[in-house]
A = this chain, B = another copy of it.
Amino acid sequence: MDHEMKQPDKKTHRSNEDKEKLINRLKRIEGQVRGIQKMVNEDRYCVDILVQLSAINAAMKKVGLNLLEKHTHHCVRGAIEAGNGDESIEELMKVFEQFSKS
């Protein structure tokens, strides 16, 4: 499925502001994942680590919902306006299903 969804030619143009915001959020998440490695190394209590993990998952979901929103506002809307919404909507639903299960 992974392969089926990859469309190497497709690009999504993002404004510099959007990119910066997204990347800053992802850098924070990256730092949090490193923080968990440190907690494991320091024999920190599992429950404290699990609380941190849940916080990261929640942050990742936020990034995902943000991407989904932009995607729908731009790519999906654009495809519908161009008269070929079907494929785009199916793709959106697949990605949402995968996302809501992860």
Give chain A's interface residues, CB within 8 Å of chain B. 2, 5-7, 10-14, 19, 22-23, 26-27, 29-30, 33-34, 36-37, 40-41, 43-51, 53-58, 60-61, 63-65, 67-73, 75, 77, 80-81, 85-86, 89, 91-93, 95-102
Contact = CB atoms under 8 A, between A and B. Distances in A.
A47 B7 CA distance: 9
Contacts of A10: 45, 47-48
Report copies per complex. 4
A1 to B, nearest CB: 9
Interface of A: prevailing SS:
helix
Given A23-B40, A29-B33, A85-B77, A93 B65 contact: yes
A46 B12 contact: yes
Contacts of A89: 69, 72-73, 77
